[in-house]
Each structure stands twice: as structure tokens, then as C-alpha cells.
Amino acid sequence: MILSGVLPNPPEILALLDELKIRVVDDDLLACSRRYLFSRSRAEEPFEALAERYFSMPPCTTRNSPIKERMTNLLDKVEGSNAKGVIFCMFKFCEPELFDLPHLIEGLKERGLPTLVVDVEPNQGLTGQLTTRIEAFAEMMR
């Protein structure tokens, strides 16, 4: 399973996936791998290091990356990790992520990968409806 979006919100979603014996093998989260998984810059000048790091980031809506680059990056993650599905953790009203979502879902479904879109609000917590949807998605993947 790959998580995509801004944050794995609510955080309890990770505990639920663990209970369901679903392993998150990679992520495409704005506040996780899109920002933090970089090698250290060798530039001595701080602004040069900052620019180098910014331009070496993976495709992201905050950088206005083309949808084709985002799709390729996501498919590389799926293939590299042998993921069997993708859960999109979407914040309500986060337009940059939401604009790309239909294209990403379509591209994944064309390749036979199940997807689930979870719309949440910050600090919402894990609701009964959300739990049921994730449980149903886990069953579908089996």
C-alpha cells in the first residue's frame, strides 16, 4: 500500500492499517517523502543548498509539477515497492492536490491498481465511516 496526499491524517489511519495487516510500503505524502528523503547538499552557500534541494524534490503540486511527472513518480513507487493499492489522504479544500487527483486515479486504474480517496479535515480523527471504508478497501485488495 502507498499513501499519497499531504499528511497521513488522521494519524490513527496507520494503526488501523496495521490492525488490518496492510503494510504501507512507501508514501507520496507532501509532509513526508516529498520533503524529507533527500541526500545532503554539498553546497557551502546556504541559498545554493536550499535551491539545490528545492529543485531535486520529487514532482509535487506545490511546485506545479506536470501531472505526467507525478504519475510517473507514483508508478515508480508502486513498481519499486510492489504495492497492491494506493490510498489518497486528501484534505478538504486543498485544491492543488485535488486538481491532480482524477488524473492520478485514472492512471492507476488503467494499470489495475485499486485506489481509495479519503477526504479529511485537519485533526478530524478516525470516524466510524472512515474505518468502514478502509476495512472495505482492505477486503477488496485481498
User: Could you tell me the pLDDT band of residue 7, with boundaries at 50, 70 and 90?
Assistant: low
pLDDT at 134 over 80: yes
Across the beta sheet with 86-91, the strand order is 26-29, 2-5, 86-91, 115-120
Q: What does the domain layout of the chain look like in residue ranges?
A: 2-141
Taken in order 108, 111, 113, 114, the sign of the CA dihedral is positive
Please give the mean pLDDT across all residues of the chain: 85
| CATH topology for the 2-141 domain | Rossmann fold (3.40.50)
Q: What is the pLDDT of residues 65-77, one digit of tens each?
A: 899 999 999 999 9
Q: Left, alpha or beta for 36 (phi > 0: left; psi -120 to 50: alpha)?
A: alpha
Burial classification of residue 29, based on how many CB atoms lie within 10 Å of its CB (0-12 exposed, 13-18 middle, 19 or more buried): buried
pTM of this prediction? Answer: 0.82
Q: What is the pLDDT of residues 35-67, one digit of tens each?
A: 776 677 788 898 998 888 878 788 888 778 899
